[in-house]
Amino acid sequence: MKLAKRLLIATAISGLFATSSVAGNADLVKEGEKIFNEKKLGNCLACHGANGKDINNPGSFGPKLQYLEAWPEDALYAKIYDPYTTNPISAMPAFGKNGWLDDKQIKALVAYLKTIK
């Protein structure tokens, strides 16, 4: 009885975790998309189009983003945090290093970028 109860609670909790992490991920992607598009946040759209995404008037200052789903998360994180580590003459701003986007925001962006085919 005790055991059954425990099991029940455990499954309930893990169920809770599972659903919340799925919902959390969808929320994160949404949050990242907002940061990507909004002028006062990441404003990535100013320079980048993104494959498979319906966005208005992307710029051509940077490359059209594609195949990012295949990038490891930490590589995407590093690109946003400080693009000079992989490309010392990049014209892309260092959003993390310059303190414009915080850790949480960059993680949300990474979640969104992972949905770009």
Partner 1 sequence: MLLKIAKISALVALATCTLNAGGFDTQAEKDRTALVAYSEAKFKDADKNRMYFPYSTDDELKNNFPKNIKHDAFALGSYAFNSRGKSQYDDIKEMPPYEDAIDEGEELYSKKFANGKSFKDCFPKTDIAGEYPYFDDKKNSVVTITSAIDECLVSNGEKSWNMKKGKSAKLQAYFSFATMEAGKKVNLKIQSQAAADAYERGKKEYYSQRGYLKLSCANCHVQGTGQRVRAEYMSPLLGQTTHFPVFRLKWNSLGTLERRMAGCNKDQGENPHKAASGWMKDLLYFMAYMSNGMAIDGPDIRK
Contacts of residue 76, Cβ cutoff 8 Å, sequence gap at least 6: 68, 109, 110, 113, 114
Contacts of residue 78, Cβ cutoff 8 Å, sequence gap at least 6: 85, 86
* Piece of 2-10, 15-23, 78-86 that binds ligand HEC (CB under 6 A): 78-86
> Using the rule CB under 8 A, is 45 a contact of partner 1?
yes
Pick 27 or 73: Cβ nearer ligand HEC: 73
> Using the rule CB under 6 A, is 63 a contact of ligand HEC?
yes
Residue reference for tokens 């992989």: 86
Binding site for partner 1 (CB under 8 A): 45-47, 56-64, 91, 93-94, 98-100
